[in-house]
Homo-oligomer: A and B are copies of this chain.
Amino acid sequence: MSDILVARLRSALGDNAVVEDADVLESHRNDHATFCAAGVPRVLVRPSTTAEVSAVMKVASEFGVPVVAQGARTGLSGAANAIDGCILLSTARMNRILEISAEDQVAVVQPGVVNAELSRAVLEQGLFYPPDPSSWEMSTLGGNIATNAGGLCCVKYGVTADFVRGLEVVLASGEIVRTGRRAAKGVAGYDLTRLIVGSEGTLGVVTEATLTLQPAPEAALTAAATFLSIEDGVAAAAAVMASGLRPSLLEFLDGPTARAIQNYRDMGLPADVGSLLIAQSDRGPRAAEDVAQIAAICTAHGAVEVAEASDAEESRMLLEARRLVNPALEPLGVTLVDDVSVPRSKLVALLRGIAEIATKYDVLICCPGHVGDGNMHPTVIFERDNPAAQERALEAFGAVMELGLALGGTITGEHGVGLLKARWLEDELGPVSLDLHRRIKQAFDPAGLLNPGKVLR
């Protein structure tokens, strides 16, 4: 049957778009998640058009074969990992920017367009596509939509979902549906666009997206402040958010993260650093004033050192510490990045609790995060090739999510559920919501062919 399946795919898409080569399949089994099982795919398809995606789904439906859609496989939760015997559906060839309209302030794109490519193309026309996940130079807009990707900009501009106006989606049946609209506002029918954004390939395959653009802001200016405690840094962040200043970036690094960076490269941080806060304003002529006001707020909240950039180059340097988080943590061991998001009033409790979890499980946990959104990335770090350490790290990872839930937060602020967090999703949702989720999945995909086992176990 399998040979017939591949023959049917070849006949629909052409030989060139259907790959059975074992090495290629192997290289497409995983996304960037750690500790997530990946199956052995049957075949990889690379459709170029919506009609070809539809043809793939019709063949998959006929043969009852699961389909896993993949963008750049930069996801962190295993949502794009292969399933045994599945069709991997790569959107790599659907990589055209179909339209950029300055008048309507929208872009129409295929799912395989890389985020940075769109961002640069619209900037040439004085426009701005805000969503900026840290993978933006690699990740595709289709992947960003599937995971409702966040980033540094969210504190001012919101997440990917806030910039998706409409979608073209191929359903499990192969039927093609358009959701949403090109107009700025609309309330006709249920919000299928938002339902599909963040659904991690379990409800349909996005084949086109209409995205909201804004006039490009001017270059941002940066302030950075060093505190001796977690409490002071968090309190300063809360005061910035309460001030009405609307920073375009507001990042936090806890003491262990700051010390790891200082060990990696001398940034002049004191050995007893408790936390670092980095903020930006992109309000053009007002940015310098904003940054001065942010600096004053930090000083008033006990900052022991505050730096204000007066130009783009100084701004870049002040952001350097944030940029060095991954390179600085990587040499310390295996990293397992969590993604809890809590109400801002619970941030100190979260950070204190994480320190206790690190002690209890005897692991290092560094905690950088998007403090303006209450979205932290506690990163559990443990010794390579040490099964006992790995076991403790996984327990700590789960304890962090349980702490986040206990504080009224969520297990994932922006990375998604995928395989990695499907177990904890059940805790977060509870039985009534979980049942509703299953019924919605059933409404879209009665045979369960789209990314089965992801999000919902």
Taking CB atoms and an 8 Å cut-off, the chain A residues in 227-259 that contact chain B are 238, 241-244
Is A388 in the interface zone, CB < 8 Å from B? no
**What B residues does A105 contact at CB under 8 A?**
241-242, 344
Is A104 in the interface zone, CB < 8 Å from B? yes
Closest 7 CB pairs of A and B: A215-B244, A194-B194, A439-B443, A186-B410, A185-B413, A184-B373, A183-B341
Give A455's nearest chain B residue, CB to CB: B189
Asked whether, in the complex, the Cβ of A191 is within 8 Å of the Cβ of B103, the reply is: no
Taking CB atoms and an 8 Å cut-off, the chain A residues in 266-284 that contact chain B are none
Tell me the bound Cα distance from A411 to B412 in angstroms: 36
Q: A186-B410, A191-B197, A410-B183 are in contact. Are A178 and B343 (CB under 8 A)?
A: no
**What 20 new A-B contacts, CB under 8 Å, besides A105-B344, A215-B242?**
A103-B238, A103-B345, A150-B185, A154-B185, A162-B162, A176-B432, A181-B409, A182-B408, A185-B373, A187-B412, A187-B413, A187-B414, A189-B428, A190-B195, A190-B198, A191-B194, A192-B436, A215-B244, A216-B244, A440-B440
**What B residues does A429 contact at CB under 8 A?**
188-189
On chain A, the number of residues with a Cβ less than 8 Å from chain B's Cβ atoms is 82
Asked whether, in the complex, the Cβ of A192 is within 8 Å of the Cβ of B343, the reply is: no
Give A289's nearest chain B residue, CB to CB: B285
- In the complex, what's the smallest C-beta–C-beta distance from A394 to chain B, in angstroms? 19
**What B residues does A417 contact at CB under 8 A?**
187-189
**What B residues does A430 contact at CB under 8 A?**
177-178
- In the complex, what's the smallest C-beta–C-beta distance from A4 to chain B, in angstroms? 28
Give A199's nearest chain B residue, CB to CB: B190
Is A106 in the interface zone, CB < 8 Å from B? yes
- In the complex, what's the smallest C-beta–C-beta distance from A106 to chain B, in angstroms? 7
Asked whether, in the complex, the Cβ of B185 is within 8 Å of the Cβ of A374, the reply is: yes
Contact with B along A406-448 (1 / 0, CB 8 A): 0011111111110001000100111011001101101110000
Asked whether, in the complex, the Cβ of A188 is within 8 Å of the Cβ of B411, the reply is: yes
Tell me the bound Cα distance from A258 to B12 in angstroms: 58
Is A179 in the interface zone, CB < 8 Å from B? yes
**What B residues does A354 contact at CB under 8 A?**
none
Is A318 in the interface zone, CB < 8 Å from B? no
- In the complex, what's the smallest C-beta–C-beta distance from A85 to chain B, in angstroms? 26
**What B residues does A344 contact at CB under 8 A?**
103-105, 184
**What B residues does A370 contact at CB under 8 A?**
185
Asked whether, in the complex, the Cβ of A177 is within 8 Å of the Cβ of B433, the reply is: yes
Q: A101-B345, A185-B154, A188-B429 are in contact. Are A195 and B195 (CB under 8 A)?
A: yes
B185, B215, B243: the one contacting A341 at CB < 8 Å is B185
Asked whether, in the complex, the Cβ of A187 is within 8 Å of the Cβ of B408, the reply is: no
Tell me the bound Cα distance from A194 to B416 in angstroms: 17
Give A158's nearest chain B residue, CB to CB: B162
Is A161 in the interface zone, CB < 8 Å from B? yes
Tell me the bound Cα distance from A456 to B262 in angstroms: 60
Asked whether, in the complex, the Cβ of A198 is within 8 Å of the Cβ of B191, the reply is: yes
